[in-house]
Structure 1
Amino acid sequence: MPELRDVVICSPLRTPVGRLGGALASVSALDLAETVLRALLERTGIDPSAVDGVIGSQGYPTMEAPAFGRVAALNAGFPVTTTGYQLDRRCGSGLQAVVNAAMEVQTGVSDVVVALGAESMSNAPFYSVQGRRGLPSGGLLLHDALARGRETVGGRNFPTPEGNVGSAETIRRHYQIGRHAQDALSLLSHRRAVAAQESGAFDAELVPVTVPSRRGDVVVDRDEHPRADTSLEALAALRPILGRDDPEATVTAGNSSGQNDAAAAAIVTTPERASELGLAPMLRLRSWAVAGNDPRIFGVAPVPAAELALRRAGASWSDIDVIELNEAFAVQVLACLADWGIDAEDPRLNPRGSGISIGHPIGATGLRMLATLAHELAALDAELAVETMCIGGGQALAAVFERV
């Protein structure tokens, strides 16, 4: 078997992240994907015919764009020779698209692959599994895809009737993590994200989105989710989501990730091909790993995943300059940090915010994080970063990247 080729990441870009029902709510996931793909072509100047395929990640698809990566590529002006497909590893989907692209390039199956992630949680479908063989008495039952996916993700043997929030509360009980610590982490996340916005730190990775409206086009060029006006007092005033059933519940909308809309993409290729195409690599993939655990405590799965990725990279936590750990819930982040022995205020951790402040557009999150960490490493003149996230259903994905 030939030796695996080196892999680099070029031009990671993302749209702003919109709130659920917010500024990007009228824009479909497909339109967000097209926007970021067109920007990728424009900013790099790459000939779209040089791209072998587009791997599209999305957590809440419809049949408006089957094989999401292929449809998005065709709509964005890629030729019919550019292949594409769709994947779903829930919260890890965007990073999985990068990893899959890397494996294609490493093995020589492809030379240039675009990893794409997109999500419009504002437009997640309501659906029915009834009616194909006739209408049942009493009418059709419609499921909300957002809620239903969190209830069924553990399958028959690992039920999660309270969804991801129930898992977060289970972790809270096991690790004995109080409400104040969760709210403090959330406030820190917002402060870091707002500081990054105000300093222009996100500008290089952002692709504006034009939103048509009756009053004329509106250009969205700024993340909508970070809150400059939040405080510990405001966070403490929020009611726990499961408070009616559990008087000790601590997980609120304020110390949980958002439900959001966004798209992100990056080019994955070899250093040699990047040079031929005039691309400037930002990152090199050093290693990656996936891990599984009980779906009812999925939030701590990044612990084994990141540790395995570090071992494969021949590195330890002391070697890492940036830690991008997606904030699904503050309690889940704090539990992972406790197991790793890392302080919650460590400046390496999510220097520009994460899921609680920036948002968590499921299929796009992994690539959003990648775009952010690439620019963080450059700004810090640093070398190594870990990107990792828990995944609903009892999984986690992690990767070690080095700055080029």
Structure 2
Amino acid sequence: MRDVVICAPLRTPVGRMGGALAPVTALELATTVLRALVERTGIDPAGVDGVIGAQGYATMEAPAFGRVAALDAGFPVETTGYQLDRRCGSGLQAVLNAAMEVQTGVADAVIALGVESMSNAPLYTVEGRRGVTGAGLLLRDALSRGRETVGGDRFPTPEGNVGSAELLRAEYGISRDAQDALALRSHRRAVAAQESGAFAAELVNVPVPGRRGTVLVDRDEHPRADTGLEALGALRPILRRDPDATVTAGNSSGQNDAAAACIVTTPGRAAELGLEPMLRLVSWAVAGNDPLRFGVAPVPATNLALARAGIRFDDLDVIELNEAFAVQVLACLADWGVDAEDPRLNPRGSGISIGHPIGATGLRMLATLAHEMVDLDRELAVETMCIGGGQALAAVFERV
């Protein structure tokens, strides 16, 4: 099969839940990053075969999301598109689906797009078409409902992802102090990257209309420069019914808004389009496990991806492991035998500090990874994340 390279990975800033990007729809975030991709690369949109859109909380405001985003961004009507959902791995899965199309010759250049506006996730009913009773209609919150149903009937997760995280805490004997220390380290690395301008090359400014005119959002909102161990330690555990609970809002990932995208193509087609590849896809893998232990699924997924590439864990220069929860990261590190302070791990922060906009996270991570590989002069990296419901993705990339 043909070699696959990643070109021009870009992302919007990551907004907090209800924050600066809340007035902007998921579709508007997506079209913003697509237009920026065209402007920065100078690529003719007609040279793109399709757009694969990843989104975890889709609505019918933009069905077959990749197609609608492409049309709204000014791509020709011949540009195809669709949407996918592999929960937290959706953005990376869009890259991998694009890679498979390119590897097999179905397409020559595909844009992988990830987006989430958790601030605008829908409230919905499944009863309205049967008529309204005296009790009215039950509106479900898509965010919380998805975490409760992701294991299906056979593997219920009534306490959502937090309950699963607490299960790992008990199983691995991970302390609250260790979790808060990892969270603080994540924030400090993200803030340092912000202050040094390290994120500048990957960021796309987002215009947000307001009463006093349009404001450009050009900075991640989620990293906290003012946090510390004392502040993190003062936060109450989310599962208060459990006296041993340790998972808090401070050592967990955020609920966020963002979009990210990249061009997936062959080295030859990249040259024809005037693109400079940043990464080559070496291998990838997906793994499944018990939905209640989904946080450690990156371990078998990463091990399989590395085995397929003939690469040892020690050969990696960068380990981008999404921080769904600090306890989940620490559990994975324990299985790998990697120290929590290993400088290869999330050099510029991750889900706890930057945020976790579900459908965009995999591509946000890829944009950060690609640019830090250049800035830090690194050659080989893995990107991996756990996925609610008992899955994980992992992909090995090589700097071009």
1:158 and 2:166 are equivalent in the alignment = no
1:375 and 2:367 are equivalent in the alignment = no
Partner SS, residue 91 of structure 1: helix
Q: How many Å apart are 1:134 and its aligned residue?
A: 1.4
Per the alignment, residue 317 of structure 1 pairs with: 313
Partner SS, residue 128 of structure 2: coil
Letter of the structure 1 residue corresponding to residue 47 of structure 2: A
Per the alignment, residue 188 of structure 1 pairs with: 185
Distance (Å, rounded) in 2 between the aligned partners of 1:309 and 1:332 = 20
Q: Deviations over 1:23-57 (max 9, x none)?
A: 00000010000000000000000000010000000
Match of 2:16 among 7, 16, 19: 19
1:364 and 2:360 are equivalent in the alignment = yes
Distance (Å, rounded) in 2 between the aligned partners of 1:356 and 1:134 = 43
Letter of the structure 1 residue corresponding to residue 375 of structure 2: A
1:128 and 2:125 are equivalent in the alignment = yes
Letter of the structure 2 residue corresponding to residue 208 of structure 1: N
Task: Give TM-score scaled by structure 2 length.
Answer: 1.00
Distance (Å, rounded) in 2 between the aligned partners of 1:293 and 1:277 = 41
Distance (Å, rounded) in 2 between the aligned partners of 1:137 and 1:325 = 49
Distance (Å, rounded) in 1 between the aligned partners of 2:284 and 2:44 = 29
Q: How many Å apart are 1:381 and its aligned residue?
A: 1.3
Distance (Å, rounded) in 1 between the aligned partners of 2:397 and 2:269 = 19
Letter of the structure 1 residue corresponding to residue 220 of structure 2: D
1:110 and 2:104 are equivalent in the alignment = no
1:395 and 2:378 are equivalent in the alignment = no
1:342 and 2:320 are equivalent in the alignment = no
Match of 2:249 among 240, 250, 253: 253
Distance (Å, rounded) in 1 between the aligned partners of 2:151 and 2:96 = 24
Letter of the structure 2 residue corresponding to residue 92 of structure 1: G
CA contact (8 A) 1:130 1:136 kept: no
Q: How many Å apart are 1:141 and its aligned residue?
A: 0.3
1:197-346 superposed matches below 5 A: 197-243=194-240, 245-346=241-342
CA contact (8 A) 1:17 1:260 kept: yes
Distance (Å, rounded) in 2 between the aligned partners of 1:355 and 1:169 = 18
Letter of the structure 2 residue corresponding to residue 141 of structure 1: L
1:76 and 2:54 are equivalent in the alignment = no
Q: How many Å apart are 1:135 and its aligned residue?
A: 1.5
Partner SS, residue 285 of structure 1: strand
Distance (Å, rounded) in 2 between the aligned partners of 1:233 and 1:208 = 34
Q: How many Å apart are 1:137 and its aligned residue?
A: 3.3
CA contact (8 A) 1:120 1:262 kept: yes
The structure 1 segments of at least 4 consecutive aligned residues displaced by more than 2 Å after TM superposition are: none
Q: How many Å apart are 1:136 and its aligned residue?
A: 2.9
Letter of the structure 1 residue corresponding to residue 18 of structure 2: G
Distance (Å, rounded) in 1 between the aligned partners of 2:202 and 2:36 = 11
Distance (Å, rounded) in 2 between the aligned partners of 1:160 and 1:194 = 34
Distance (Å, rounded) in 1 between the aligned partners of 2:153 and 2:292 = 12
Q: Deviations over 1:297-346 (max 9, x none)?
A: 10000000000000111101111000000000000000000000000000
Partner SS, residue 268 of structure 1: strand
Letter of the structure 2 residue corresponding to residue 85 of structure 1: Y
Letter of the structure 1 residue corresponding to residue 371 of structure 2: H
Distance (Å, rounded) in 2 between the aligned partners of 1:23 and 1:248 = 35
Q: How many Å apart are 1:133 and its aligned residue?
A: 2.1
Per the alignment, residue 94 of structure 1 pairs with: 91
1:35 and 2:32 are equivalent in the alignment = yes
Distance (Å, rounded) in 2 between the aligned partners of 1:136 and 1:264 = 43
Distance (Å, rounded) in 2 between the aligned partners of 1:36 and 1:249 = 39
**Structure 2 residues without counterparts, runs of 5 or longer:** none
Taking every aligned residue pair, what percent have the same amino acid on both sides? 82
Distance (Å, rounded) in 2 between the aligned partners of 1:238 and 1:106 = 48
Distance (Å, rounded) in 1 between the aligned partners of 2:129 and 2:109 = 41
Distance (Å, rounded) in 2 between the aligned partners of 1:305 and 1:136 = 48
Q: CA RMSD in A?
A: 0.4
1:172 and 2:158 are equivalent in the alignment = no
Letter of the structure 2 residue corresponding to residue 337 of structure 1: L
Letter of the structure 1 residue corresponding to residue 243 of structure 2: P
Partner SS, residue 129 of structure 2: coil
CA contact (8 A) 1:36 1:263 kept: yes
Letter of the structure 2 residue corresponding to residue 166 of structure 1: G
Distance (Å, rounded) in 1 between the aligned partners of 2:7 and 2:35 = 15
Q: Deviations over 1:235-278 (max 9, x none)?
A: 000000002x1000000000000000000000000000000110
Q: How many Å apart are 1:380 and its aligned residue?
A: 1.5
